[in-house]
A and B are shown apart, each in its own frame.
Chain A
Amino acid sequence: MSKRPSKEMNKYWRVGEPMVWLSGAALTLTLLSAVTLLVVIVMNGLGVFWPSNIEQVKLTDGTAVYGQFVRSEETADGSGLRHQYKIANRDLYGLDFRWIDQTDIASTGHPRDLIVLERSEHGDFYGTLQQLFTVAGNSVAATFDNLQQQLSAAKHDLELLSELEKKLNDASYEMEQMRLTLLKFDYEGVPAGALERQELEQRKSELDARFADLIELQTRRVDDARKAKAVFADAGGRGKEVVLLDIVQAYTPNTMSTTDKVIFYGGKLVELVAGEPRESNTEGGLFPAIFGTVMLIFVMSLFSFPFGVIAAIYLREYAKEGPLVRIVRIAVNNLAGIPSIVYGIFGLGFFVYGIGHSIDALFFPERLPTPTFGTGGLLWASLTLALLTVPVVIVSTEEALGAIPREMREGSYALGATKFQTLYRVLLPMASPGIMTGLILAMARAAGEVAPLMITGVVKLAPALPIDGNFPFVHLDRKFMHLGFHIYDIGFQSPNVEAAKPMVFVTTLLLVLIVLLMSSVAIRLRNKMKKRYTFGTF
């Protein structure tokens, strides 16, 4: 009786059943790490905009702070817990976060009159409203409702001001164009008295005058609008005067109901997608980065999609199968594995310094040494990425064409169709899911790729979008922003990494969602196709 289990045990080991379990454990570890990554991103990313309650922490030494609880950990000497609070008010305290030992806390509470201000500078402010002044300089009752009323008035002012600023931007763009035209005249040797030159100078002086008027108007309006102020007090009673124009939003998290908070959260999400970044990209929205990413993917697809598909059609349908084609096929498959930084350095050397410099020398010699196309920009970054993704498109298009059964082609030929007709009417429609798969995978790769962009034209803050209302409307020579680079930049180049972290996680979450969505659609498409005509992919 006692022998039987051990015999069974031996057999169990001999047939290798534990190895099956161990290989299962390898899969478990792989999937666990992926799940952990997603959980970390989602946990950190989703909570950023939730308006958590703010505590008033009274300390045993008599002082008090307002803070949003972040986390607890054991103290270094293991004697108890300490809590991290976000205390905001960077301009008063210098730091955004503070550790408080459990033993130092006398009591905590959630004061209902506490207001959180989102400001356009210096981060958030936690405090209570003390005094409120209107634009006319009158003092009004310091209530939250009055504050909101005044804030909406300020918002109206801000809209007027931003309209004015848009006019100013247009005028300065026009002035820049005139300056460049004048440079061109100089370069082409148009004499000082020539008609077109005089005309231009005339227009320039008119514009200068208009510009000066606009500037003056703006200064006056800003001065007026900045008279609306409010005085807030921090937990210690220290007063802080805040100009209403500088307040982006004010809310009272401790009195908000869950519904209010959900609405607030939704508003923040809209701001994230549609708003401009503030405070060196650590606050505000991601609109320019999203726009730049989309634009980059679009321009890249314009190049890589047609070229990749044509190359694949050639390889699969027209080229004669032989050693040369085999070598080419290996080379193309190989290109998909070349490190992206190698493409990047190629883009820099060939597009930016090679073609870009030639374009400058040919078409914009008057602007030199200021480069136009001879520096990194959207066009060069897109071309570099197109080069990087062309192999992906070629490989998947080829696989899709190769998966179509031979009978399809033969049937088409038998009915008298030419090769091109067969291709156009039969093969391409049938291969379209596969081609789409390649395109989507290429786009997903472009959305996540950062290294080659860093050296071909991405910047942390682009002064203008690549598309705007000024002729010729699409400016491919401009530098642009990108979600992936945004993560690298604010996570690693930002002066205040701790304060920037929430924004990095939000951007990460957004990018992960975009990329995962794109690639799961691509994989679904491909699996669908696989089911239609079974083929292997190795």
Chain B
Amino acid sequence: MNQAFRKKIKRNDRIARWVITVGGMAIIFSVIFILVLIAKVSLPLFLPPDAELHASTRMPRVENIRAVGMDEYLETGYVIDASGTIRFFNVKDGAPLDQELLSGAGGNRSLLAVETYGRLNHVLRWSDGSLTIDQVKFRPYFDAENDNRRSILHRVESLASFPVPATGPGVQTLARVGGEGRQVRIDLYSDNRLLVQLIEVSENFLGEEEVTEAEHQLAFDTAGDVSALVLSSDGTRLYAGTKQGELLRWDLSDSEEPTLLEKIQAFADRREITVLNLVYGDVSLAVGDSTGQVTTWFPVRDDSGVWKLTRIHDLSRHSAPVAAISPSPRDKSVISFSSEGLLVDHMTSERSLLSLGRKDRLQLYSMTTRGNAIMGLTDDGRLQSWKLEIPHPEVSLGTLFGKVWYEGYDEPVYAWQSSAATDDYEPKLSLTPLIFGTLKGTFYAMLLAVPLAIFGAIYTSQFARPRLRALIKPAVEVMAAIPTVIIGFLAALWLAPLIERSLGSLFLSLVLVPAALMISILAWQGARKIEPLRRLERGFEFLAVAPVVILAMAIAAGLGPGLEQTFFAGDLKQWLFTEMGTRYDPRNCIIIAFAMGFAVIPIVFTIAEDSLSNVPSSLKAASLALGASRWQTVWRVILPSASPGIFAGTMIGFGRAVGETMIVLMATGNTAIMDLSIFNGMRPLSANIAVEIPEAPVDGSLYRTLFLSAVILFVMTFIVNTVAEIVRQRLRAKYGRF
């Protein structure tokens, strides 16, 4: 052997060692690492929100500022001063852009106060008692000539104007413009009177515009003076709070007849309600009180069917009375303001998101229409803007796993309903019903699969003839390879209608098959005395039993309809509904038990069979030699030795059932209900991912929640698989075989 050749071999060996070691380790760690990445996607759900100071500038020579605002690109801001002038400026450096006089300004009128609602709609209250509503609109503009540079265009649109009522202006006023030509003005007088002015523009059947005007004095009787008022943005519902902690609710939708719906003592300690506002969507009422507490309320139907305002969520607590509350125009977040600064909370998750301007002594504030920034005016005249990073305010551990009282529900519930037709919808992202569905489906499947698989494995490994065993084992292994999409399809389109048609027969066969087996075993007592038949006993029992089982099932199928006719008035499903109150879904847990059980049996069977047949035969021989029967040997000697393997098989089967997707997707009906009934379907985690992920916006809350549910699935299967794997490795070490 020459030197060069030897060198070459050695070099090759070193290269191979290096490549294989690096490659192998890289592959193994990347496979594990990428699964960690899934968790990384869902992690931002729980990141704390963040606010970053964007700019702090000063508008020179502007005093008596009544309102501030900003566009959602954080470029153009504006202030409205007491003269009724709106001045736009550059947010970053405070450079003035342009200014204009608002439509209501003029004469010697000055602007007293501004209330903001919706998308930068400003209700302006003038010194003569008149009200105007102006909306500031921003629009991005891309300049095609100048390399598509973006600039923000702005304009002010006058929406409505309300004259002074005949009785003079009230101490507190409100106004709203609804979508369908409906204008409402409310005046509160110091003697606790409320005046409602309604203007409705409607089209009659000739297509002409008709204007109806109405004026109402609202009569009510409260212990304390009205201290806070709010009107829904379409002007149909009016809420009031009093100094004695009472809440009142009116329905103004009928312009002829406003009705007081209810009056409740909201707080038993009669604390003053200082401010009211409506959360985005106009369903929930946010209440701020003199103790600094912010709560949200909405009407819930009580036992007698009456809608009553109910305290639903308790949000943050200020240490000073709440001075203002405003909703986020984007989601169910609530901004509350006191002399202590701003607090941002999310209503559904009750998460306290941010605390801003504690040191800055804010006077005014406003949120952008996209909810991504807040601008505030400090008492030394600085215009401060914060950029908000609140990626997933609606998600908290409470909303993911706990009961939440959603808008429009009678009580707190676990619910999964990720999207709806409207923007102001409250997403319901509780994973509890999905986890419940997963466990429920798995439970019923295991209930069927585990006994069949383990007893089948015992029989195959211990009693069947070796020649038959060599056939049965591969047959069951091939069964494991049948794609689950096929099992699911057959379960949903073949088995489900079959079981629905013959539910009576199914239950009858549950009784008849064991009974037939028992009878045949007894009958065998006589037959086994005949010598040729006796040979059946040794290793062919399962074939001898087959006709009995088939016959029993055939009898059950034949008698089923008659049974339903006699005892259940012809229809078992109907009977279940009327007598037991159980609804029968065509795609239910019976189907799942059969289909998923079918998918799980081969897995449990194979592993259990392996561990049973790997028990050293010396144990078996010793037991038989001591006079134990073959069943006693199996039950007392072999089964205990093999039990870790059987346990491992069951665990792995469990992991498989938990993660199974196609069968449950096709055969469960996919409704996220929490009901243990075997006649209902469910919605498991896996099917939920498959159904929802194609529509989930990338990096949105739903997207990350679905990744989180994948992590949960991963963890569930990882734990059971690891336990099973450790048990198997120990077993291997014990019997010294691989």
In the complex the two chains form, what is the Cα distance from A24 to B463 in whole Å? 8
Contacting B at CB under 8 A, from A57-104, are none
In the complex the two chains form, what is the Cα distance from A481 to B682 in whole Å? 29
- Is B484 on the interface with A (CB-CB < 8 A)? yes
In the complex the two chains form, what is the Cα distance from A527 to B541 in whole Å? 26
Interface hub of A20, A30, A421, A450 (most chain B Cβ within 10 A) = A30
In the complex the two chains form, what is the Cα distance from A337 to B9 in whole Å? 40
Contacts of B728 in A (CB 8 A): 538
In the complex the two chains form, what is the Cα distance from A26 to B517 in whole Å? 11
Contacts of A49 in B (CB 8 A): none
* Residue in B24, B485, B490, B630 whose beta carbon sits within 8 Å of that of A318 in the complex: B24
Closest to B451 in A: A26
* Residue in B453, B666, B714 whose beta carbon sits within 8 Å of that of A342 in the complex: B714
- The A contact surface, by secondary structure, is helix
Asked if residues A26 and B459 are in contact (CB atoms below 8 Å), the reply is yes
Asked if residues B631 and A41 are in contact (CB atoms below 8 Å), the reply is no
Count chain A residues whose beta carbon lies closer than 8 angstroms to a beta carbon of B. 104
In the complex the two chains form, what is the Cα distance from A342 to B21 in whole Å? 28
Asked if residues B481 and A341 are in contact (CB atoms below 8 Å), the reply is no
Q: Beyond A18-B521, A40-B494, is A451–B686 a contact (Cβ under 8 Å)?
A: yes
Contacting B at CB under 8 A, from A1-47, are 5, 8-9, 12, 15-34, 37, 40-41
Contacts of B694 in A (CB 8 A): 454-455
Contacts of A9 in B (CB 8 A): 525
- Is A314 on the interface with B (CB-CB < 8 A)? yes
Asked if residues A22 and B659 are in contact (CB atoms below 8 Å), the reply is no
Asked if residues B24 and A341 are in contact (CB atoms below 8 Å), the reply is no
Stretch at the interface among A208-216, A278-286, A509-517: A509-517
Contacts of A344 in B (CB 8 A): 689-690
Asked if residues A387 and B718 are in contact (CB atoms below 8 Å), the reply is no
- Is A193 on the interface with B (CB-CB < 8 A)? no
Contacts of A17 in B (CB 8 A): 537, 629, 631
- Is A340 on the interface with B (CB-CB < 8 A)? yes
In the complex the two chains form, what is the Cα distance from A307 to B12 in whole Å? 20
Q: Beyond A30-B601, A387-B34, is A334–B481 a contact (Cβ under 8 Å)?
A: no
Contacting B at CB under 8 A, from A311-334, are 311-315, 317-319, 326, 328, 330-334
* Residue in B10, B24, B34, B460 whose beta carbon sits within 8 Å of that of A311 in the complex: B24
Asked if residues B729 and A30 are in contact (CB atoms below 8 Å), the reply is no
Contacting B at CB under 8 A, from A258-317, are 307-308, 310-315, 317
In the complex the two chains form, what is the Cα distance from A527 to B614 in whole Å? 16
Contacts of A508 in B (CB 8 A): 486, 489-490
In the complex the two chains form, what is the Cα distance from A103 to B52 in whole Å? 82
B647-669 contact mask (Cβ, 8 Å, vs A): 1 or 0: 01000100110111110011000
Q: How many A-B residue pairs have CB under 8 A?
A: 323
Contacts of B541 in A (CB 8 A): 20-21, 24
In the complex the two chains form, what is the Cα distance from A133 to B525 in whole Å? 78
Asked if residues B631 and A15 are in contact (CB atoms below 8 Å), the reply is yes
In the complex the two chains form, what is the Cα distance from A308 to B30 in whole Å? 12
* Residue in B451, B456, B481, B665 whose beta carbon sits within 8 Å of that of A451 in the complex: B665
Asked if residues A330 and B729 are in contact (CB atoms below 8 Å), the reply is yes
Q: Beyond A40-B490, A341-B661, A455-B694, is A26–B611 a contact (Cβ under 8 Å)?
A: no
- Is B558 on the interface with A (CB-CB < 8 A)? no
In the complex the two chains form, what is the Cα distance from A399 to B655 in whole Å? 22
Stretch at the interface among B255-263, B278-286, B542-550: B542-550
Asked if residues B37 and A32 are in contact (CB atoms below 8 Å), the reply is no
* Residue in B9, B456, B658, B731 whose beta carbon sits within 8 Å of that of A30 in the complex: B456
* B448 CB to nearest chain A CB (Å): 10
Asked if residues B546 and A32 are in contact (CB atoms below 8 Å), the reply is yes
Asked if residues B525 and A12 are in contact (CB atoms below 8 Å), the reply is yes
Asked if residues A27 and B690 are in contact (CB atoms below 8 Å), the reply is no
In the complex the two chains form, what is the Cα distance from A332 to B27 in whole Å? 11
Closest to B610 in A: A538
Contacts of A20 in B (CB 8 A): 459, 463, 541, 630-631
* B80 CB to nearest chain A CB (Å): 38
Asked if residues B455 and A26 are in contact (CB atoms below 8 Å), the reply is yes
A499-538 contact mask (Cβ, 8 Å, vs B): 1 or 0: 0010010001001100110111001100100000001111
In the complex the two chains form, what is the Cα distance from A537 to B737 in whole Å? 9
* Residue in B487, B660, B710, B732 whose beta carbon sits within 8 Å of that of A345 in the complex: B710
Q: Beyond A334-B725, A538-B610, is A16–B629 a contact (Cβ under 8 Å)?
A: yes
In the complex the two chains form, what is the Cα distance from A520 to B477 in whole Å? 9
* Residue in B550, B645, B729 whose beta carbon sits within 8 Å of that of A32 in the complex: B550
- Sample 10 A-B pairs with CB under 8 A, ordered by A number: A20-B541, A20-B631, A311-B24, A319-B21, A335-B32, A337-B655, A339-B660, A454-B694, A488-B488, A536-B614
By Cβ-Cβ distance, the 5 closest A-B pairs, closest first, are A339-B659, A314-B24, A448-B483, A16-B631, A15-B629
Q: Which residues of B contact A (CB under 8 A)?
A: 9-10, 12-13, 16-17, 19-21, 23-25, 27-28, 31-32, 34-35, 37-38, 41, 451-456, 458-460, 463-464, 472, 474-490, 492-494, 517-518, 521, 524-525, 537, 541-546, 549-550, 594, 598, 601, 605, 607, 610-611, 614, 629-632, 635, 645, 648, 652, 655-656, 658-662, 665-666, 686, 689-690, 693-694, 698, 706-707, 710, 713-714, 717-718, 721-722, 725-726, 728-729, 731-732, 735, 737-738
